[in-house]
Amino acid sequence: LGKVTFDMIDRELMADFLNYREQNRGCSTVTRNHRLECIRAFYKYAAQEDIALVTYYDEIQKVKVAKVPETIVEHMSTNAIQSILSQPDTSTDRGKRDAFLMLFLYKTGARVQELVDVRICDIQLSDTPRVLLHGKGAKSRAIPLRDDVVQHLKKYLALFHESESQYSDQYLFYSVRNQKKKRMTEQNVRSIVSKFGSMARETNKEVPEQVHPHLFRHSW
């Protein structure tokens, strides 16, 4: 690597490298374009540090970004969502939990892993209610909570976390195993969503045959 110079790399070599990544290494078009953006960022930095390298930066800028094929994102209609959300028997504690879990999943656009990782201390019920979701790569993002979600959230906390303070590190959604509250698993959530999806489809054909948590994220 110490022998590689800017003179060795031109737009043709760079295009060949990107083609190799896509055709021989099986990278997607999105990954190919990401590689190019990273290289461009490095060349931009180099040109800022040494003005003599601007010509090399300009050369790399001429490498075209590959066109990403359009994909249709699977999602559910509002009617289908409402049909699913109405399935749990909210006269029972478990039904209340399941109904709120799906509402929370839908209106935060959370991934299933982000959902089950939410702790009470991640929730802020102030003038601007929000929840902190912990996503991929240790990245976190704050999601505003709508009024209807806040109303149901307060009822849920009063029922399932009555003795917990707002700073508690207890998981928002949990399962009781060996008489202890444990983090709900991703599979638990998938089973809940699949169950009520199947029930809703019996009366509403807008509901897909296979309902999974990520459909809620796409739909929102």
Position 139 scores a pLDDT of 86
Give yes or no for residue 137 having a pLDDT over 90: no
* Dihedral (Cα; 152, 155, 160, 163), 10-degree rounding: 130
DSSP element (H, E) containing 132: strand 130-134
Q: Give, in order, the Cα–Cα distances in Å from 178 to each of 54, 87, 95, 97, 98.
A: 65, 29, 22, 20, 21
Give yes or no for residue 18 having a pLDDT over 90: yes
For 39-91, how does the pLDDT look when each residue is reduced to its tens digit (9 = 90+)? 999 999 999 999 999 999 999 999 999 888 776 668 899 999 999 999 999 99
For 176-190, how does the pLDDT look when each residue is reduced to its tens digit (9 = 90+)? 988 899 999 999 999
Angle between helices 54-61 and 11-23 (to 10 degrees): 40
Contacts of 11 (CB under 8 A, 6+ apart): 59, 60, 62, 63
Residue range 34-38: mean pLDDT, rounded: 95
DSSP string across 55-90: HHHHHHHTSPPPPPPP-PPP---HHHHHHHHT-S-T
Give yes or no for residue 135 having a pLDDT over 90: no
- The mean pLDDT of the chain is 93
Beta bridge pairs of residue 143: 131
Q: Angle 70-217-196 (CA atoms, 0-180°, nearest 5)?
A: 120
Beta bridge pairs of residue 90: none
Residue range 141-166: mean pLDDT, rounded: 95
Phi and psi of 131, rounded to 5°?
-130, 140
- Number of helical H runs and strand E runs in the chain: 9, 5
Give yes or no for residue 29 having a pLDDT over 70: yes
Amino acid at residue number 20? Y
Position 72 scores a pLDDT of 67
Phi and psi of 119, rounded to 5°?
-110, 160
- CA-based R_g, the chain, Å: 24
Q: Where are the alpha helices (DSSP H) in 112-185?
A: 112-117, 147-160
Position 73 scores a pLDDT of 64
Number of Cβ atoms within 10 Å of the Cβ of 165? 9
Give yes or no for residue 148 having a pLDDT over 90: yes
Position 75 scores a pLDDT of 85
